[in-house]
Amino acid sequence: MATDRVPAGKRDCISLREKIAELQKDIHDGIDVVGKKMTLCQLYAKQNAQRPKVRKNTETGRKYLMDILKKDKLGVRSIDSIKPSDAKEWAIRMSENGYAYQTINNYKRSLKASFYIAIQDDCVRKNPFDFQLKAVLDDDTVPKTVLTEEQEEKLLAFAKADKTYSKNYDEILILLKTGLRISEFGGLTLPDLDFENRLVNIDHQLLRDTEIGYYIETPKTKSGERQVPMVEEAYQAFKRVLANRKNDKRVEIDGYSDFLFLNRKNYPKVVSDYNGMMKGLVKKYNKYNEDKLPHITPHSLRHTFCTNYANAGMNPKALQYIMGHANIAMTLNYYAHATFDSAMAEMKRLNKEKQQERLVA
């Protein structure tokens, strides 16, 4: 039973005996009684300090989260005082402030990792961010847009015929036929194209930050470095792009120059340029056509490319390589659910190939 309460009129708190019991339990469990009093902001900073050399966009993401924590009441709380209910209330506040479900989930994952460090350092016993976000918030993530074959044809036909967007036709076609990330596409330079072997060399990407401007980044993983084949349509589109290039002043970014796709200011195009272009193109198409196109982004074209080859039965490992996916699970998500008929057809195909190999041998 708690005794030794503070006098009436003073702020209620745990009794002296409870404090002593808590301290004795911490000492018995090896809890760092000083470390547990660091704030959530301090813990997150500690986690980041243990991995200082990160990509620029990761550094930017860290800064965003730290700014959020500094403005939120949870950021100044000592880590030993944060309960799962506090973490869930933080997630709800984030949603009320307009943050998307996936953004909140990414930030929650970072804070969960921070608390694992605190647990390893014996600062706390449990992880308050170890919960499923979907149990707290509705997942409002918009499903990935994948164009049907008919939608793909209509998009290309409209762009090709339109006075405003015909100049973007080859860019859209190349994105649909290579599956490149828009940062990889925007970073393409003349030396990246190998017309003799009909392939595109991917070993860097172009990004732009509001504070530091344009910069070149290497792929997140080694799997991002790859050679993407040029199918005939992509080959011809690249040829047209080069034929239509103007002798404009070439900018240099982190040692790279001769960028293929430039804006009006002769700077390489980035995701914001293509998002705006695609939004305007779809809006104009839908204005004059009853069969509306869905919301389309450059990433939608990459999803469409991957889905088309998955549905065509391409070997998952081959598709993983072309897409530059670090994990095969990412690629497998694009494959339709197997049925008995599709499984039987695949077994027959493999058995037929085996028999042919034996005949040749």
Residue with tokens 């450059």: 298
DSSP 150: H
Alpha-carbon distance values, 143 to 139, 326, 335 (Å): 10, 22, 16
Give the tokens for residue 94. 């984030």
Q: Is 220 a catalytic residue?
A: yes
Among residues 36, 302, 309, 334, the one annotated as catalytic is 302
Q: Cβ distance 107 to 146 under 8 Å? A: no
Q: Is 325 a catalytic residue?
A: yes
Question: Catalytic one among 215, 235, 267, 335?
Answer: 335
| Ordered DSSP codes for 81-115 | G--HHHHHHHHHHHHHTT--HHHHHHHHHHHHHHH
Q: Which amino acid is at 10?
A: K
Let me know how long the chain is: 361
CB-CB neighbours of 150 under 10 Å: 9
Q: How far apart are CA 336 and CA 182, in angstroms?
A: 25
Which of the residues 5, 220, 250, 295 is marked catalytic? 220
From the candidates 107, 285, 325, 334, give the one annotated as an active-site residue.
325
101 is catalytic: no
Which residues lie closer than 8 Å to 7 by C-beta, 6 or more apart? none
- Residues 281 and 155: their CA atoms lie apart, in Å, by 9
**Active-site residue flag, 295:** no
Query: Among this protein's residues, is 299 annotated catalytic?
Result: yes
In eight-state DSSP terms, residue 107 is H
56, 77, 299, 303: which is the annotated catalytic residue? 299
Select from 193, 307, 163 the least CA-distant residue to 261: 193
Spatial strand order of the sheet with 226-229 comes to: 193-194, 199-202, 226-229
Q: Are 184 and 201 in contact (CB under 8 A)?
A: no
Catalytic option among 36, 88, 181, 204: 181
Q: Among this protein's residues, is 335 annotated catalytic?
A: yes
- Closest CA relative to residue 182, chosen from 323, 309, 306, 299: 299
Q: Of 174, 273, 271, 274, whose CA–CA distance to 228 is shortest?
A: 174
Place of tokens 């550094």: 59
CB 179 within 8 Å of CB 318:
no
CA–CA separation, 324 vs 223, rounded Å? 5
What are the residue numbers of the active site?
Answer: 181, 220, 299, 302, 325, 335
